[in-house]
Structure 1
């Protein structure tokens, strides 16, 4: 039995959820794929897949086996890439995931510049708040706003995730300028909706951190929309400083400072935008090239963890 081929078929069926879909993806008859997986199961002495007339699902041991062999097969693929790729010309598919706001404002322009410099790189990027598993090689590079760095990945800090309290000149002329934390209770505010919850503002005062209760008039999970609403005078926003530099410079937004508190969306002092990758995969020319390029383009501070 060609064990590696059988494992590859097993991975494809597990990912796509059916023998028919795996057959279309591989160009191999479904009956041949099924037979190879049955031979693999016989060799292992266990059932990897539950089969019904309608669907295919993993058994408990099949799930364990999937996690183990996926990383092994990916390591073999990486070893082949390491030997065959041309060091002078990085090429191939580069899978990147990024938090949406930073991805649109900062990462996408840097990637366009990188693709012009290295036209043989194919960038597959997903802007999402979903956290992919770097250890299982679901992506090559992840860009995340976080204070909790993964233990098994290299983290290169691109910038501090500092938030600025801002409003439009029109809003301030109509509603006045807040001077202290208590003033915010009478103001219209705009909040960010994160994955699964609305993110309230946090205030660092001389007595410690407090949760800020405001009167939101607009809530959205898209940072650009919050900026546009702030410019339109909808309310006061607490926005990432890296996202509003042009608006502050042009006067479309005005930075506000409270006398008795500093505001943030997190109570962590280590919150930042980090570029994450697995150290062993850094040996691949395409990943090393992309990591080094993006850090050089985007980093205002760089640390490894």
Structure 2
């Protein structure tokens, strides 16, 4: 008798609750299932199932035997799978989820570099502002900005997001440059509508070391961070933007960071995944790759020195534009 196979058949019969379903799952006949169980009973000298013409039920001896052997069988199967996976390591598909802006600005460059290093791994990226249930959606790894997920997950912080008050040089040339929060109410402003709650997010200010919130009237709002950022670039108003969306525009001179004393870093970017005894090697490889490559996340953040330099440069560009308008007008 193949004792290991017989024990697996016995456990499968318990899990599926039927000799017929067990036979179908294992690709054998119901008679073969019954024979394997009888052989175990003969060797153990105990009855594992009570049998009737309609159904079979587990005996107390059968339950105790199952409790004892199941951990060992799972350990054997796990070891088998690990050895097999070593042959095809870093193969298959990884499914990721992220918000649209985070996916495009932060993840896509990482995915491109990862696939060059691991060409056998395919990547599927699902972009959605709403929180995604990893298990229910068959997702391997999630990425989110804001606060860490509170579910029973493994969560890794990647970097802090900067909230920056920004305007285009053209807007500042036409409307002037606010230097205090009280002056903002005299300007055209943009706003962010939270994609999950539908509420417009309040502006956040630092006041003597404390965080204050203010609901400021907005002439333009959007539930998409990139759309709001583009609106500010186009001169629709002043906005409080996240650095993921705004950093590249600031570096290119299309946006000017204002009121640097109001910079806020209370939000983060997080990578999260389900707690599992053994992660597939391709998933582990991607996690390690992200942690090694993220560094200071320069595409999504600006250094303090950069902000000061780009602030001065942007104000100079706005002043030059304003002088030209006055001269031509």
- Please tell me the TM-score bracket, short chain as reference: 0.5 to 0.7
CA 1:206–1:279 in 2, change beyond 3 Å: closer, same or farther?
same
Deviation of 1:130 (Å): 2.2
CA separation of 1:3 and 1:189: change in aligned 2, threshold 3 A: farther
Residue 220 of structure 1 corresponds to which residue in structure 2?
A: 222
Taking the aligned partners of 2:221 and 2:230, their CA distance within structure 1 comes to 12
Structure 1 residues without counterparts, runs of 5 or longer: 7-41, 46-74
Q: Does the 8 Å contact 1:189/1:235 carry over to 2?
A: yes
In structure 2, the partner of 1:287 is: 283
Instruction: Give the deviation of 1:135 after TM superposition.
Output: 5.7
Q: 1:229 to 1:86 in 2, by over 3 A?
A: same
Q: Is the 8 A contact 1:89 1:118 kept in 2?
A: no
Distance 1:5 1:171 in 2: 71
Q: Which 4+ stretches in 1 moved above 6 angstroms?
A: 42-45
Shift of 1:258: 6.0
Residues 280, 183 of structure 1: CA spacing in aligned structure 2 closer, same or farther, 3 A cutoff? same
Give the Å deviation of 1:244. Answer: 2.3
Quote the Cα distance in structure 1 between the aligned partners of 2:158 and 2:84.
31
Aligned to 1:91: 91
Post-superposition offset of 1:96: 0.7
Q: Does 1:277 align with 2:259?
A: no
Q: CA separation in 1, counterparts of 2:142 and 2:246?
A: 23
CA contact (8 A) 1:135 1:152 kept: no
More helix by share: 2
- Secondary structure of 1:170's match? helix
Aligned mates of 1:175, 1:244 — CA distance in 2:
21
Structure 2 residues without counterparts, runs of 5 or longer: 1-19, 26-53, 58-73, 298-329
**Contact 1:81/1:284 (CA < 8 Å) preserved in 2?**
no
Kept after mapping to 1: 8 A contact 2:164/2:260: no
Cα contact 1:188–1:214 (8 A) shared by 2: no
Which shows bigger deviation, 207-216 or 117-126?
207-216
Q: Deviations over 1:55-78 (max 9, x none)?
A: xxxxxxxxxxxxxxxxxxxx99x9
> Cα distance 1:175–1:44, how it changes in 2: closer, same or farther (>3 A)?
farther
Contact 1:229 1:235 in 2 (8 A): yes
> Secondary structure, in 3 states, of the residue corresponding to 1:228?
helix
Report the 3-state secondary structure (helix = DSSP H, G, I; strand = E; otherwise coil) of the residue aligned with 1:84. helix
Matched residue count: 230
Cα distance between partner residues in 2 of 1:200 and 1:246 = 24
TM-score by length of 2: 0.61
**2: CA distance between counterparts of 1:95 and 1:272?**
22
Is 2:170 the counterpart of 1:170? yes
Which of residues 289, 294, 299 in structure 2 aligns to 1:298? 294
**Offset of 1:93 from its aligned partner?**
1.6
| Separation in structure 1 between the aligned mates of residue 23 and residue 127 of structure 2, nearest angstrom | 33
Distance in 1 between the 2:23 and 2:215 partners?
57
Residue equivalent to 2:115 = 115
Question: Counterpart of 1:67?
Answer: none
Q: Which moved more, 1:174-183 or 1:212-221?
A: 212-221
Q: Which structure's CA Rg is the greater one?
A: 2
Deviation at 1:211, TM superposition (A): 2.4
Inter-CA distance 161–201: structure 2 relative to 1 (3 Å threshold): same
Report the equivalent of 2:193. Answer: 193
From the superposition, tell whether residues 263 and 216 of structure 1 become closer, same or farther in structure 2 (CA, over 3 Å): farther
State the alpha-carbon separation in 2 of the partners of residues 139 and 277 from structure 1: 8
Give the equivalent residue in structure 2 for 1:206.
208
Distance 2:139 2:23 in 1: 22
When normalised by structure 1's length, the TM-score is 0.66
The answer (yes or no) to whether the contact 1:201–1:263 under 8 Å persists in 2 is: no
